[in-house]
Structure 1
Amino acid sequence: MKKCIGLVLSAVLIILTAIPSSVSAAGTVKLGDVDNDNQVSALDLAAVKQHLLGTSVLTGNAYIAADVNANGEVEALDFAEIKQYLLGKITRFSGEQQQTGIGITWMDGKKLYPVGVNYAWYNWSYEFSDNNWASNFARIKSDIDTMSTKGVRALRWWVFPDLAYGPIWSGANEGSLCTGLPDKWVDHMKETCDYALSKNVKIYWTITSFDCARNDDSVDHDDIIDNPVVLQSFLDNAMKPILQKLGDHQGVMGWDIINEPEWIVNKADNGEPNGKGESFPLSAMRNYIKTTCAYIHQYAKQPVSFGSANMKWLGAQYDLWDDLGLDFYDFHWYDWATPYFNPTTTPASSLNLDKPVIIGEMMPDAKSSSLGMTHKQVLDAIYKNGYAGYLLWSWNDGAYDCKPYIGNDFIDFGREHSDVVR
């Protein structure tokens, strides 16, 4: 197919030299249809190539049609997207989802482009315990104050990373049922959301992580993934009180069902088990995510997703997570993946997902990575490529601390896209 397109392009370029490139027509412009013949073809690709080479200039509706990522410029990214479209790798252009700005759809029905950081945890599994809450909350407020001054508008925060202390269980082993939450746990989560909202920050609550399947824990409740009775007890007795309190809270960005489940999905199902604990069939993990998503939708107005370990599993190589009822998709990006899966050079539309997709974890120091880019430069590139959000790892993770690398990047990006960074 690539060879065919190349041969057609050679012939088309000869023809186009005699045709004015300022093709325009009244009515709605169809992205990719540069010559206005009601189809996207090699002729359109050739016209864009001529424009980029400077042998002709696109103007008017032809220019608008060529700008398939809808960023106001006709550039190499547009040429690459049209080529992917012709090769059948994508079925729509990224600009088609940008009519009112890129972003996820939040509970007010408007687009929201989450820009921010992961907060992860300070007190693993004990984050919202009533023990030492006054001092813990003082630290939380101080951190949120600083985040707000740096343009952080979204905060991804883990709630029950390994299902150990919170919530409460009838026993320590598989088969135990969830019986509730520690005292004042929900109150402290709400207090945190209230304060975050006062600083124009929204929290993206991550419910659990692949860490729930680790062998080195003294408790074992990973059977929420493959035991429907245990899962229902967790949903009813841990999640429901949280959702009832926070399901319409303006300080909640969304709900993240599980962090990086691919590390505990069986190899036979194209997962990559980390060898540190149990792994599960893809069918079990899909059912867990789908069931939890549907449950959250009963009580919460905010959108629901989960954090995939890499875009590899969200359509770039494998398509593991379609048809689960999610409101947006979320994948994580570290430099090991850049040579293979790079959102600055890969349009979101090429993943063929049915909902917007955000980058829920991003390497803290992009400038010193193989990208050699500031976070503002990365944000500009992924916005052009149709991605819907960007959160760094992490505000409080020692050697992976993102604070020194934010600068004014979020502030500058937010100022340029104030319609969706809010």
Structure 2
Amino acid sequence: MLKGEHVFLSGGNLPWINYAYDFGNNQWAGVKSRVENQMKYNSLRPPLSNRLWIHIQGETSPQFDNNGYVIATDMQGTLISDVQDMLNLAQRYDILVIPTLWNAAVDQDRSHRLDGLIVDTRKLTSYIQVVLTPLVRASNPDPCFDTTRLQNSGAGWAGKKYNFQQMLREIFFQTQGKLDFYQFHSYSWQGKFDNVSPFLHQWRDYGTGKPIVIGEFNRQDGGGRTMNQLFEYVYRHGYSGAWSWDLVSQGQDQRGGISHIRNYSGNGKIAIDI
């Protein structure tokens, strides 16, 4: 729901320009023009939303002390203003932003910064107090950004490094036990989706009682389907959004699928004004 209206989050991943080096420490100035170009392209279709990353695994933000506690948003103090400027761009092009704060889908946390936040609630508390709460408060008035989603965001978990209970604790500790929606990723293997793929089921089959967004998919690993067919399947089978992976490297291919469903109705409005 957005402003009391049922919507379908059509769009794609605009994950990063420079992996982990887009926000904070005055890095945004170096990538802003490229992000804006992507948003310009996207607004022509139009996608309703873009999903992008903020910290990744803590390579450049937030700032940690030697014991793994968060002591600042970043060394030069620009993280919050960088994110706000990005949101201003999104509003200009009528794009909702879904931030993903962290990436635990791969095990590249050699400094054990993200690791500390996942396994130690004291360190996680330092992040919430020093970074997350000020970021939410600063961004809350922005109409293109529903800050209730910010706390719920993170990707994956790295193989067998973390167990299910640890990931649930990390999520629910930040969200105070509230999740607004679930997000699935689905890629085919050797031309076929596995039997739990959302591209072989309807939303109601999962029995979650909450909306489900298909947060990653592409044509190359799409079970032989076109982008038009993939986007249409998600819309027609009760899901609440579709974000292809990814618009930076495969945007020309994927924007066709976004455009294909732009005028669909019956499962939520796609084109909205922010």
- TM-score for both structures, normalised by structure 2: 0.87
Which whole-Å CA distance do the structure 2 matches of 1:359 and 1:194 have between them? Answer: 26
Equivalences for residues 44-63 of structure 1 within 5 A: none
Contact kept, 8 Å, 1:167 with 1:238, in 2: the verdict is: yes
Which runs of no fewer than 5 residues in structure 1 stay unpaired?
Answer: 1-104, 265-272, 274-278, 295-323
1:177 aligns with 2:32: no
Tell me which amino acid in the other structure corresponds to 1:208: W
Q: Hey, what does 2:129 align to over in structure 1?
A: 236
With over 3 angstroms needed to count, the CA separation of the structure-2 counterparts of 1:181 and 1:414, relative to structure 1, is same
1:232-289: CA deviation from partner (whole Å, max 9, x where unpaired)? 001111111110111342112533421012x34xxxxxxxx2xxxxx22322221111
User: 1:408 maps to what in 2?
Assistant: 256
Partners of 2:168 and 2:19 lie apart in 1 by 26
CA contact (8 A) 1:118 1:157 kept: yes
Alpha-carbon distance in structure 2 between the residues aligned to 1:155 and 1:412? 17
**Could you give the per-residue CA deviations for residues 326-358 of structure 1, whole angstroms, max 9, x where no partner exists?**
111101011127132332331111111020101
* In structure 1, distance between residues paired with 2:254 and 2:92: 22
CA deviation after TM superposition for structure 1 residue 218, in Å = 3.8
Equivalent residues in 2 for 1:348-367 (5 A)? 348-363=203-218, 365=219
In the alignment, structure 1 residue 394 sits paired with structure 2 residue 246: yes
The answer as to whether partners of 1:348 and 1:387 remain within 8 angstroms in 2 is yes
Question: Secondary structure of the equivalent of 1:195?
Answer: helix
Q: Give 3-state SS (helix, strand or coil) of 1:121's partner.
A: coil
**Which residue matches 1:260?**
156
**Partner Cα distance (1:237, 1:213) in 2:** 25
TM-score, normalisation: structure 1: 0.58
In the alignment, structure 1 residue 201 sits paired with structure 2 residue 91: no
Q: CA deviation at 1:420?
A: 1.7
Aligned letter for 1:413?
I
Structure-2 separation of matches of 1:408 and 1:212: 30
Indicate conservation of the 8 Å contact 2:103/2:156, yes or no: yes
Which of 42, 46, 57 lines up with 1:162 in the alignment?
A: 57
Hey, what does 2:227 align to over in structure 1?
A: 375
How many residues end up aligned between the 2 structures? 263
Q: Which amino acid aligns with 1:131?
A: N
Q: Deviations over 1:363-400 (max 9, x none)?
A: 2x2xx55633222222222222211100011122xxxx
**In 1, distance between residues paired with 2:78 and 2:93?**
23
Following the alignment from structure 1 to structure 2, what is the Cα–Cα distance between the partners of residues 361 and 345?
15
Higher relative contact order by CA 8 Å / sep ≥ 6: 1 or 2? 2
Q: Distance in 1 between matches of 2:262 and 2:108?
A: 39
Task: Mark the CA change 1:350 to 1:284 in structure 2 (over 3 Å): closer, same or farther.
Answer: same
Residues 150, 407 of structure 1: 8 Å contact kept: yes
What corresponds to 1:72 in structure 2? none
Mapped contact 2:16–2:53 kept (Cα < 8 A): yes
Counterpart of 1:378 in 2: which secondary structure?
helix
* Counterpart position of 1:189: 83
> Residue 153 of structure 1 is aligned with which of 48, 72, 92?
48
- The Cα offsets for residues 295-315 of structure 1, whole Å up to 9 and x where unpaired, read as xxxxxxxxxxxxxxxxxxxxx
- Is the 8 Å Cα contact of residues 257 and 293 (structure 1) preserved in structure 2? no
Tell me, what secondary structure is at the counterpart of 1:292? helix
Name the % identity. 18
Give yes or no for the alignment of 1:226 onto 2:122: no
Partner of 2:185: 332
Paired residues of 2:42 and 2:255 also in contact (CA < 8 A)? no
The AA in structure 2 aligned to 1:231 is L
1:403–1:370 Cα change, 3 Å: closer
RMSD: 2.2
Q: Of 171, 174, 189, which aligns to 1:289?
A: 171
Residues 393 and 369 from structure 1, CA distance in 2 versus in 1: closer, same or farther, beyond 3 angstroms?
A: closer
Q: Distance in 2 between matches of 1:234 and 1:395?
A: 30
Instruction: Compare 193-202 and 342-351 and name the one that shifted more.
Output: 342-351
